[in-house]
Amino acid sequence: MAEAQGLILEHTRPLPAEQIRLEAAAGRVLAEAARAAVDLPPFASSAMDGYAVRAADTPGRLTVIGRIAAGEPAAVGLESGQAMGISTGGAVPQGADVVIPIEYVVERDNEVEIDSPAEAGSNVRPRGGDARAGEIVAQAGSPLTPARLGALAAAGIPEARCAQRPRAAVLPTGTELRRPGETLAAGEIYEANGLLLSAQLAAAGAAVELMTAVGDDEGAHRAALEQALEADVVVTSGGVSVGPHDLVRRVEAELGVEEVFWRVAVKPGKPIAFGVRGEKLVFGLPGNPVSALVGFELFVRPAIRALQGVPEPLPQFERGRLTGGPRRRNQERDELVRARLLSSPEGAVLEPLSGQDSHMIARAADADALVLISRGEGEITDGSLVDYLRLE
Ligand code: AMP
Ligand code: MG
């Protein structure tokens, strides 16, 4: 698994960057650090509704000389003996150094009585306290999460340099495949991988073209693959095994795809194929839907992330405890077991689902995580610490 992932990343170069308006940048990955255009906050502002005063004047009785609303600063500064009403987000006037919350003050006849000494600076949000102008708000390689979009907007950044979205073509193969909604003839099944893989690709940041499934016919494969190869990344499903109708690798070779590897010691997903044509990445995932799902997480998602310049593109496994009885290791292949992820006072607990066969997508759809049972002899006892990968 690790060797295959290494080979994929060796063949993956980040895509060029482009300037993107923030409105269209959700989920994109920054190609350059984004720096604050202004101090954040841009001016000392009030954290409360209350009265802006001088701490040195407290306790005491002060004259209210004006009201400051958010977006409507005072025209004059504050002198000793004076107070100004101020709303949350209002600019603290020159001369004031503290805001007394409205709850602690009674105003009568344009005067406020403040009973106790106030501490300079309290309830004042200092200019630049969150970020200074020119400071990095988000590093290169970080995805623009909702919070980061908010941070960039707050810092006055209207657009950002982001990696291009990888263009990905998804091509399901198999004569037996029908669209859901169509009637199944004898021996036919509904096509699941196209939607499954398209959704995974989109979630990983790719711009996806889902192609119509092709039958197990060389001519149909050639035409569809030729079109698919216009994208940066081609993801096929099915037809990469050893049967006489498994045509994907052969036709790809005819189209100039150089195979980098075929078959990985993982379960499910053993017959996965990976090749390149120039900078284009070509993944052949097996047809069983769970194999496609797992193969995507282990091998395709890292490539999509690397194309976007994510600094740590490989799956991030976490540690948790296995429950539900002992599990026998597979001697030849690392196994990825579909499991529920539960929380307990002792940490994460992984409960394998019943029905682990690679065609059982309905069972696998309930999984929160893939538990890695590394290959070897014997069994993993119940309660052992295992590595798991969260599914999104
Ligand atoms: P293959 O990898 O082409 O040998 O297919 C392995 C198994 O997965 C077979 O049972 C196929 O019928 C099934 N399969 C292939 N492609 C799909 C698909 N797109 N959706 C659902 N099942 C599929
Ligand atoms: Mg097939």
- 249-274 average pLDDT score: 98
Strand partners, 91: 45
Question: Distance between CA atoms of 57 and 64, rounded to whole angstroms?
Answer: 13
Q: Alpha-carbon torsion 192, 29, 8, 218, what sign?
A: positive
Strand partners, 209: 169
Closest atom of ligand 1 to 192 CA is: 20
Q: Which two tokens stand for residue 227?
A: 């079109």
Q: Which pLDDT tens digit goes with each residue over 84-104? A: 999 999 999 999 999 999 999
CA of 34 to the centre of ligand 2 (A): 46
Q: With a 6 A CB cut-off, is 236 part of the ligand 1 pocket?
A: no
8 A C-beta contact, residue 224 and residue 323: no
Ligand 1 pocket test: which of 170, 173, 178, 189 has the largest number of ligand atoms within 8 Å of its C-beta? 189
Can you give the pLDDT at residue 19? 98
CA of 244 to the centre of ligand 2 (A): 10
Tokens 């195979």 correspond to 259
Is the pLDDT at 8 greater than 90, yes or no? Answer: yes
Confidence band, pLDDT 50/70/90 cuts, at residue 253: very high
Tokens 């101090």 correspond to 39
- 317-332 average pLDDT score: 97
Ligand nearest to the CA of 292: 1
8 A C-beta contact, residue 61 and residue 115: no
CA of 84 to the centre of ligand 1 (A): 73
Q: With a 6 A CB cut-off, is 26 part of the ligand 1 pocket?
A: no
Question: Distance between CA atoms of 342 and 369, rounded to whole angstroms?
Answer: 10
Closest atom of ligand 1 to 243 CA is: 4
SS3 of residue 330 by DSSP: coil
Q: Which two tokens stand for residue 299?
A: 């091998």
Closest atom of ligand 1 to 240 CA is: 2
Can you give the pLDDT at residue 381? 96
Q: Which pLDDT tens digit goes with each residue over 192-229? A: 999 999 999 999 999 999 999 999 999 999 999 999 99
CA of 355 to the centre of ligand 2 (A): 22
Q: With a 6 A CB cut-off, is 198 part of the ligand 1 pocket?
A: no
Q: How far apart are the first and last CA of the chain?
A: 21
Can you give the pLDDT at residue 39? 98
Is the pLDDT at 392 greater than 90, yes or no? Answer: no
3-state percent breakdown (helix, strand, coil) of the chain, nearest 5? 20, 35, 45
Can you give the pLDDT at residue 250? 98
8 A C-beta contact, residue 301 and residue 389: no
CA of 287 to the centre of ligand 1 (A): 3
Going by CA atoms, what residue is nearest to atom 6 of ligand 1?
287
Question: In whole numbers, what is the pLDDT of the chain averaged over residues?
Answer: 98
Q: Which spans in the chain are helix H?
A: 2-10, 146-154, 193-204, 218-228, 248-254, 289-295, 301-307, 361-364
Indicate the pairing of strand 17-21 with strand 159-163.
Answer: antiparallel
Tokens 């970080």 correspond to 142
Q: Is residue 268 reached through a cis peptide bond, with omega within 30 degrees of 0 on the bond before it?
A: yes
Q: Which residues contact 373 (CB under 8 A, 6 or more apart)?
A: 327, 329, 330, 334, 335, 336, 337, 380, 386
Can you give the pLDDT at residue 119? 98
Q: With a 6 A CB cut-off, is 362 part of the ligand 1 pocket?
A: no
